[in-house]
Structure 1
């Protein structure tokens, strides 16, 4: 009986899967056009799945092996089922191969089942709780059904009762696997995920030697609508990416805003976008909600506004853009791109940037810096340092990009330390001084693409007038923008973070340092240096050159916890149950270290804002200066680049500048 039904059942399952696939594709195509290489993407998809995706999955070895057995067993079984049971190819070899693949799938499904007995809080439940059972039933049913074809059991073994049981199991298993993949269900991620890898919006993430792809993409400021208001305003392959979400919750576990009790959960955000594809509400969502916001109160469709429908505005403004969610996502979904796209609409079309956002954006337009400081005071901290100005020397080896840290009294100590190190290494360098403007990082993360592009184009025009080989900066945010986001606007430069450059100087012997004489040290990875640009080793190598054995925090490297200072988060200031920098300082305290070494002015400000007692915060440049070995120069010789120096202020003028800065920052002069 089952033999006569099987071909019909398989055919129906495949037909429904095809119909569902067409339906799913129509949902994705509600999004905006975005050209892709269809054939090339499909051909590259297997490698992206087996190499790039599994590079992320393999961070959890047990789940990686489970995924290989379960997913690999299913894909191979599906192909062999069509050959053996639909086309009825009389081959013992194929039948034995099908037994092997279903047994492999069954073994993997056992581990999936065990994991779901008491699942971690980050895992969505609901339909996902039945998936292990469906996997087991699918594998077991086809294993038993294939035994006669493999010659292990005679045809017709088991009678009508076994036939009924197997038929029920096959209907259940195939329904979950094939019908669920395209019409909706836990297996949907498999179908959408495969195509997402083929047509990924950031295909450069998969190219050999291409490096990381983390820079935000520019938008056409002449478009009728700026940013994303509705789900249909996303690119179609962004919608496809949202549909690929496996609801594993790795992004949720990594998100600093979620941990702090702010109303953001990256997994819930992506699932809300999926709800927006077909229309409906989040009432069936079976994962962790946004902190402080109950399930079932949000809904919408592809052509209705996202904010106040699918999500609340404070959810979008809670994000620090730290990319921890993107780094952890096994489906390689780009959460941060989506959030900034939605912020762009709120800022550019609605003027709805919260709290101090409007003031900061107005300052950037009026004074070229977010604090509203007098632009000509950017170099007042260096009045006594005789730093060459690029407008005077015209060309130099290194352009030192000061950044907005020049207006902050605390960060000025880092800048002065770095200048001293450059001079000790006899580096030929210069600054733009009053010609330097804000890099545009804050404006872009707050969604003000217009102000970002204006600042970037003015900086690019200024830089085009001079000759230099490298740009070096102490600010990872400026570093990232100059390196990865100016290129789309015509500015292509070699840009280094100061720790990378200082490490070059130390390793080459140009900069000589002695052993660190202070307390024990832990190191905090800045998000825009680490996850955005992959630089984890240079800061640690510098610390090792000082004889420091870094006491690593539990969350370090690519899993470092954000300080809370990125993405304009201190400006939008969405409240939660606790502060992100307080959580990060708890991580540091747990190491027992007396000093937290940093490499970012934002990190310095956020971590020093934690109430004492706490470890001391020191930029790596400050630690190096303290251990600097002074080398006597021959009589009459001067360090390179000492002509045409900055000499901007007398002591009275410096005191006035300090008071002005204090008035802006609220710190004592």
Structure 2
């Protein structure tokens, strides 16, 4: 009986699954065109899955092993089942391999069931709660059905009244498993992520994120530029169909594990953002409907079931409910913690900024002081609206060398708009003191420097960003320098990663990296540290965005400081709340993000938190009743200098060697 029934079930499931896959792909293709290499992407997909994806999954060892056993067992079992029971190729080792694959799948399903018995709050429930049962039904039924094929059970066991009943039960279990595992990939359900996820890895919008052996760079964090010269193009994303098709594919790949939710600073602060819910809302818009069936954590203080959308309807409605509220988009600090944690490598921040672009450029709806800041950038080239000619007033006594007078220098010091802030001026003074002590040949742009455009771009004003960037690039092209050094990770990121697309290709260093190189080259010497306990806060735009975690710690160790690491440090560092224009849009929550971060500092017992970012300094120093001082790494280094090279004009001495040559 099963010899006849199984091939019918298997190939019927494959046909229905193929129809579902075609149907699902039509939903993705509603998006805008995107250029991908189909052959190269499909060829790279296995490695991207086994190496890059599992690099993230491996952070949870138990779930990593569970996924290998369950997913690996299923893929092997499905392919072998087609050969053994679909095509009748049971001879030889195929049957034994099928037994092994189904056993692996069953063992994995036991761990899935254990996790689902009392799931953490970040996991979605609903259909996902039936997944362990579906996995068991498929693996157990396939295992039992295969036993006669390898001679472990008599062939006549499934004959007679009892045998026929047992065969029907097994056929029902196989049908259940096939429906969930194969058919569900294209028609919806928990296994949808397997089909969409595999293609998402193949056609990812940022192939540079994947391993170098796959032709990538291992990191890609710069925002993509808009084509502002196309008069027919919508600026930003208004509707789900305005996303590129491979972005929609990426949303559909979400496994609803909630790792993004667990690390999101805005969600933890009670602001109306949950990255997982946002991605699922985009899936709702992709297919059309409402969020009533969503079974995960909602946006804080936002009920589930009131939002709805269609592929060609607005994502954010001006009147009434749409897919998301505008406050959800403006809550994001663009810290990329969600992206870093996502095992499916979904690009949440890209999507949020794309939607912000439409709100800012097309509708002029930037909340809080956003519109004022953007107007200031247009009128004065700085977000505070200060007199552009006052950029260097703080350094009148330093006699800093100007590029306009010298024409070239080893190092171009990018001041950033912290030059208008009295607190950050202390950091700049400290860093200049360090460079002079090391005899560094440096110069500044002075009043020729404009805002890097970081905050304009994160607020969605791509036009102002590109205007600032192109003018800065034109200014920089007049001079010769080996590298740009800055104390601001946001300027560091934008100059090094986002100007390239507009024609500005520079070697940019964060000041902590540069100080470390000076120390290693023997050009700096420090007195031993005699202060208290110190912890270090990783800036998002230095760490997660650019992978620089070691340089600041190297400098602190050179000072004799043993860093008392916070529980959330390195790539899992908690955001200070200062990025993405969040302090400007100022979406209220139940608590402040910097307050939570200073709570992390307090748990270490540290007397001081070392930082490497002016925005982090401002946010953390703004915490009331904090027991820890906030000092920039440059300030700590300047205070510890053993000697200073007298260089009143700010340049290197005539016989000072080039750092670039020393390092080489």
TM-score range, shorter chain: over 0.9
Q: Alignment partner of 1:152: what SS? A: coil
Partner Cα separation in structure 1 for residue 90 and residue 355 of structure 2: 56
1:203 alignment partner in structure 2: 207
**What are the superposed Cα offsets for residues 47-82 of structure 1, whole Å, 9 maximum, x if unpaired?**
000000000000011110000000000001111001
Report whether the alignment pairs 1:287 with 2:300.
Answer: no
2:75 alignment partner in structure 1: 75
2:51 alignment partner in structure 1: 51
Q: Alignment partner of 1:92: what SS? A: coil
Report whether the alignment pairs 1:476 with 2:489.
Answer: yes
1:166 alignment partner in structure 2: 170
Residues 84 and 478 of structure 1, relative CA distance in 2, 3 Å threshold:
same
1:328 corresponds, among 314, 334, 341, to 341
Aligned 8 A contact 1:227 1:343 in 2 = yes
**What are the superposed Cα offsets for residues 297-348 of structure 1, whole Å, 9 maximum, x if unpaired?**
0001100000031000000000000000000000000000000000000000
TM-score, structure 1 as length reference: 0.95
Partner Cα separation in structure 1 for residue 469 and residue 211 of structure 2: 27
Return the offset for 1:386.
1.7
1:653 alignment partner in structure 2: none
Residues 265 and 638 of structure 1, relative CA distance in 2, 3 Å threshold:
closer
Partner Cα separation in structure 2 for residue 623 and residue 207 of structure 1: 37
1:493 alignment partner in structure 2: 506
Return the offset for 1:13.
0.4
Aligned 8 A contact 1:604 1:619 in 2 = yes
Aligned 8 A contact 1:255 1:266 in 2 = yes
2:260 alignment partner in structure 1: 251
1:183 corresponds, among 173, 183, 187, to 187
Return the offset for 1:517.
2.1
Partner Cα separation in structure 2 for residue 459 and residue 119 of structure 1: 51
**What are the superposed Cα offsets for residues 591-631 of structure 1, whole Å, 9 maximum, x if unpaired?**
00000000000000000000024200000000111111115
Report whether the alignment pairs 1:531 with 2:544.
Answer: yes
Residues 638 and 582 of structure 1, relative CA distance in 2, 3 Å threshold:
closer
Q: Alignment partner of 2:596: what SS? A: helix
**What are the superposed Cα offsets for residues 358-400 of structure 1, whole Å, 9 maximum, x if unpaired?**
0000000000000001111111111111211000000000000
Q: Alignment partner of 2:150: what SS? A: coil
Q: Alignment partner of 2:535: what SS? A: strand
1:518 alignment partner in structure 2: 531
1:661 alignment partner in structure 2: none
Partner Cα separation in structure 2 for residue 112 and residue 211 of structure 1: 30
2:221 alignment partner in structure 1: 214
Q: Alignment partner of 2:157: what SS? A: coil
Equivalences, count: 641
The residue correspondences of 1:349-388 to structure 2 (distance < 5 A) are 349-388=362-401
Return the offset for 1:638.
8.2
Q: Alignment partner of 1:336: what SS? A: helix
1:134 alignment partner in structure 2: 134
Partner Cα separation in structure 2 for residue 25 and residue 621 of structure 1: 52
Q: Alignment partner of 1:483: what SS? A: helix
Residues 399 and 97 of structure 1, relative CA distance in 2, 3 Å threshold:
same
Report whether the alignment pairs 1:618 with 2:622.
Answer: no
1:662 alignment partner in structure 2: none
Partner Cα separation in structure 2 for residue 68 and residue 498 of structure 1: 42
Partner Cα separation in structure 1 for residue 407 and residue 530 of structure 2: 40
Return the offset for 1:518.
1.7
The residue correspondences of 1:636-655 to structure 2 (distance < 5 A) are 640-641=651-652
Return the offset for 1:639.
6.8
Report whether the alignment pairs 1:602 with 2:622.
Answer: no
Partner Cα separation in structure 1 for residue 390 and residue 640 of structure 2: 30
**What are the superposed Cα offsets for residues 616-664 of structure 1, whole Å, 9 maximum, x if unpaired?**
000000011111111567xx99874489xxxxxxxxxxxxxxxxxxxxx
Residues 588 and 265 of structure 1, relative CA distance in 2, 3 Å threshold:
same
Return the offset for 1:246.
0.0
Partner Cα separation in structure 1 for residue 349 and residue 616 of structure 2: 20
Partner Cα separation in structure 2 for residue 156 and residue 120 of structure 1: 47
CA RMSD of aligned residues (A): 1.2
Partner Cα separation in structure 2 for residue 639 and residue 364 of structure 1: 30
Partner Cα separation in structure 1 for residue 563 and residue 577 of structure 2: 22
2:458 alignment partner in structure 1: 445
Aligned 8 A contact 2:403 2:479 in 1 = yes
Partner Cα separation in structure 1 for residue 278 and residue 425 of structure 2: 39
**What are the superposed Cα offsets for residues 250-280 of structure 1, whole Å, 9 maximum, x if unpaired?**
0000100000000000000000000011100
Return the offset for 1:508.
1.3
Partner Cα separation in structure 2 for residue 72 and residue 376 of structure 1: 63
Partner Cα separation in structure 2 for residue 637 and residue 316 of structure 1: 49
Partner Cα separation in structure 2 for residue 457 and residue 637 of structure 1: 33
The residue correspondences of 1:7-26 to structure 2 (distance < 5 A) are 7-26=7-26
Residues 631 and 281 of structure 1, relative CA distance in 2, 3 Å threshold:
closer
Greater shift, 412-421 or 149-158, is seen at 149-158
Aligned 8 A contact 2:290 2:306 in 1 = yes
2:251 alignment partner in structure 1: 242
Partner Cα separation in structure 1 for residue 407 and residue 555 of structure 2: 31
TM-score, structure 2 as length reference: 0.95
Return the offset for 1:355.
1.1
Return the offset for 1:92.
3.1
Partner Cα separation in structure 1 for residue 199 and residue 452 of structure 2: 36
Gap runs ≥5 in structure 2: 655-664
2:659 alignment partner in structure 1: none
Aligned 8 A contact 1:437 1:455 in 2 = yes
Report whether the alignment pairs 1:401 with 2:414.
Answer: yes
2:354 corresponds, among 332, 341, 361, to 341
Partner Cα separation in structure 2 for residue 639 and residue 120 of structure 1: 57
The residue correspondences of 1:574-613 to structure 2 (distance < 5 A) are 574-613=587-626
**What are the superposed Cα offsets for residues 504-557 of structure 1, whole Å, 9 maximum, x if unpaired?**
001111111121222210000000000000000000010011111101001000
Partner Cα separation in structure 2 for residue 379 and residue 82 of structure 1: 73
Greater shift, 204-213 or 45-54, is seen at 204-213
1:658 alignment partner in structure 2: none
Return the offset for 1:37.
0.7
Tell me which stretches of 4 or more aligned residues in structure 1 moved more than 6 Å. Answer: 636-639
1:227 corresponds, among 236, 248, 254, to 236
1:649 alignment partner in structure 2: none
The residue correspondences of 1:452-471 to structure 2 (distance < 5 A) are 452-471=465-484
Partner Cα separation in structure 2 for residue 610 and residue 591 of structure 1: 17
Gap runs ≥5 in structure 1: 644-669
1:62 alignment partner in structure 2: 62
1:655 alignment partner in structure 2: none
Return the offset for 1:156.
2.8
